[in-house]
Chains A and B, each alone.
Chain A
Amino acid sequence: MILPANIIDGLDSGVVVLDANRRVEVWNDWMAVHSSIAASAARGRDLLDIFPELGRSHLLQAVERALNHRLPTVMSHNLHPRVLPLFNRYGASVEPVEQSVVVRPVADGDSTGCLIQVADITAAVKRDRHLRDVTVYNRTLFEMAVDPMATVDRAGILRDVNPAFEGLAGTQRAGLLGSRFDAWFTKPVEAGRLIARTLADGRANDVLLSLRQADGQQRHVSLSAATVPGRADGATMVFLVARDLTERIEAERELARKTRIIEQSNAELAQFAYVVSHDLRQPLRTVSSFLTLIERRLGEAIEDDLKEFIAFAVDGARRMDRLIVDLLNYSRVGRQDAPLDEVDLGASLAEAMANLGTVVAESHAEVAVPEHLPRIMGSRSELVRLFQNLLANAVKYVETGKRPRVVVECRDGGSDWVLSVRDNGVGIPGDCLDRVFGLFQRLNPAEHTEGTGIGLAVCRKIVDHHHGRIWVESHLGEGATFFVSLPKEGATPEG
Chain B
Amino acid sequence: MSIVLNEMERDVVTELFNIGVGHAAAAFGELTREKVQLAVPRVDIVNYTEAANQLATVAGEPMIGIRQDFEGPLTGVAALIFPERRSLEIVRAAIDDRFPLDDVSELERETLLEIGNIILNSCLAAISDMLGMPTSASLPHLVQSAPPDLLDTLSARTSIDRIVLFLHIDFSVSRLNVSGYLLFILGVEGSARFLEAVRGLIRRSEQGE
Contacts and interface: CB of A to CB of B under 8 A. Distances in A.
B106 interface: yes
B108 A78 contact: yes
B102 A77 contact: no
Contacts, number: 79
Interface in A75-96: 75-80
A135 B121 contact: no
A149 to B, nearest CB: 15
A100 interface: yes
A277 interface: no
Interface stretch (B35-43, B53-61, B131-139, B150-158): B131-139
Between B103, B114, B121, B128, the greatest number of chain A beta carbons within 10 A of the residue's beta carbon is seen for B114
A77 B110 contact: yes
Interface stretch (A123-131, A214-222, A442-450, A462-470): A123-131
A199 to B, nearest CB: 19
A490 interface: no
Interface string A50-94: 000000001000000100011111111111100000000000000
Interface in B64-96: 68, 72, 91, 94-95
A232 interface: yes
B105 interface: yes
Contacts of A154: none
A233 B125 contact: no
A79 B114 contact: yes
Contact of B107 (A65, A69, A78, A102): A78
- Interface of chain A: mostly helix, strand, loop or mixed: mixed
Given A71-B124, A132-B101, A79 B111 contact: yes
B113 A76 contact: yes
A299 B147 CA distance: 124
Interface string B111-135: 1011001000100110010000011
Contacts of A71: 121, 124-125, 136-137
B110 A74 contact: yes
A139 interface: yes
Interface of B: 31-32, 68, 72, 91, 94-95, 99, 101-103, 105-108, 110-111, 113-114, 117, 121, 124-125, 128, 134-140
23 contacts: A69-B128, A71-B137, A72-B68, A72-B137, A72-B138, A74-B140, A76-B107, A76-B110, A76-B111, A76-B113, A77-B107, A77-B110, A78-B91, A78-B108, A79-B114, A80-B31, A100-B110, A124-B106, A125-B107, A128-B105, A128-B106, A128-B107, A233-B103
Closest CB pairs A-B (n = 10): A70-B136, A76-B114, A76-B110, A78-B111, A76-B111, A74-B114, A74-B117, A71-B121, A78-B95, A72-B139
